[in-house]
Amino acid sequence: MSRSEFQLKTPEQFIAMRKAGLITAKALQAVRSACVAGVSTGELDKIANQTIESMGAHSNFQLVAGYNHTICASINHEVVHGIPAPERILEAGDILSIDCGAEIDGWNGDSAITIIVPNPDGSLPDTEKVKARQELSRVTEGSLWAGIAALAKAERLNEVGAAIEDYIDAQGKYGILEDYVGHGIGQNMHEEPPVYHFRTKDLGPKVSPGLAIAIEPMVTAGSNKTKVLADGWTVVSKDKSDASHWEHSIALTESGVWVLTAPDGGKSRLEALGVPFGGLSA
Ligand code: MG
Ligand code: MG
């Protein structure tokens, strides 16, 4: 399929996708609530799966060949695709990226958040390292929303990547991954077109209402060079610098942007950015 052949969605299809997006958001909220020092990423995986199944949906990560988990849980210098396990016990101050997705009625959601793991009492260790990790997560999440805001006005898709790169560069010295990128989303979790989180020479496809994409910047506190561990999945920064990953599935409607995997559809954050909210109702 050439890049121009990706499918635009109808408003009815976006409404169906919102269901998958909300369930994905609920699963991530449940993981966030359970995430404290002493908990294992294997337990978080179970919580995500129970949440998704309880709403009549299924984990779409489990449909990926060879992957038998509901979330990816990437700790510290693991950037993406970390495998949850009962022996991976979280420590206070760890920077943890959780990626998760749900499928219902044949439609998909895909979203990721970064958490700085608190103590069981909710406090964080008062260290420079933790402050730097909080800042890394803030910059990464901010870059996602800069990309979402750019999508609202974009004529060509790589205006999103350019906005993400410019946002991050203005915040300090960070590595933006180029080995892994965002994607179209719909009846498959991964569809055309690719969504780059940096400026490319090719401006990308034309942007129009009906576009549904997952934007998911992966950012490190050092180099953007990565390698895959011997488990065949876990992607780590080569220089062992900390990493953060934030992702939303986003629909572009006739009236604006609808963040399908945000509990409020993105309304509050979009308003703050001056971006028209494009949520639809059945
Ligand atoms: Mg994802
Ligand atoms: Mg994705």
HSE value, Cβ hemisphere, 13 Å, CA-based, for 260 = 32
Q: Which ligand is nearest to the CA of 99?
A: 1
- In tens, the pLDDT along 35-48 reads 999 999 999 999 99
- Residue-wise pLDDT for 74-86, tens only, equals 999 999 999 999 9
Asked whether 97 and 74 are in contact (CB, 8 A), the reply is yes
pLDDT band of 4, cuts 50, 70, 90? low
Task: Please provide the average confidence, as pLDDT, over all residues in the chain.
Answer: 97
Which ligand number lies closest to the CA of residue 195?
A: 2
Report which bound ligand comes closest to the CA of 245: 1
**pLDDT number for residue 165:** 98
Over residues 187-201, the pLDDT tens digits come to 999 999 999 999 999
Share of the chain above pLDDT 90, in %: 96
Q: Residues 80, 100: contact at Cβ < 8 Å?
A: no
Query: 280: exposed, middle or buried (C-beta count within 10 Å: 0-12, 13-18, 19+)?
Result: middle
Tokens at 252, concatenated? 């572009």
d(CA 259, CA 37): 30
The full set of domains in the chain, from first to last, is 11-272 (3.90.230.10)
Q: Are 245 and 114 in contact (CB under 8 A)?
A: yes
Separation of alpha carbons 213 and 195, rounded Å: 8
247 CA distance to ligand 1 centroid (A)? 6
Q: How far is the CA of 214 from the centre of ligand 2 (A)?
A: 6
168 Cα to the center of ligand 2, angstroms: 20
| Position 282 confidence tier, pLDDT thresholds 50, 70, 90 | confident
Q: What is the mean pLDDT of residues 41-68?
A: 96
pLDDT digits (tens, 9 = 90+) for 181-238: 999 999 999 999 999 999 999 999 999 999 999 999 999 999 999 999 999 999 999 9
Closest Cα partner for 254 from 207, 216, 220, 215?
Answer: 207
Report whether pLDDT(49) > 70: yes
For residues 129-157, average pLDDT: 98
Task: Kindly give the distance from the C-alpha atom of residue 21 to the centroid of ligand 2, in angstroms, as a whole number.
Answer: 12
- Quote the pLDDT of residue 131: 98
| Ligand sitting nearest the alpha carbon of 81 | 1
Cα distance from N-terminal residue to C-terminal residue, the chain: 32
Nearest ligand to the CA of 24 is 1
- Rounded to the nearest angstrom, the distance between the alpha carbon of 126 and the centre of ligand 1 is 30
Q: How far is the CA of 82 from the centre of ligand 1 (A)?
A: 12
Is the per-residue pLDDT at 241 higher than 60? yes
Query: Under 8 Å CB-to-CB from 11, ≥6 apart: which residues?
Result: 253, 254, 280
Q: How far is CA 250 from the centre of its chain?
A: 11
Ligand 1 centroid to Cα of residue 181, in Å, is 10
Q: How far is the CA of 129 from the centre of ligand 1 (A)?
A: 26
Asked whether the whole model's pTM tops 0.85, one would answer: yes
Q: What is the pLDDT of residue 5?
A: 74
Which ligand sits closest to the CA of 215?
2
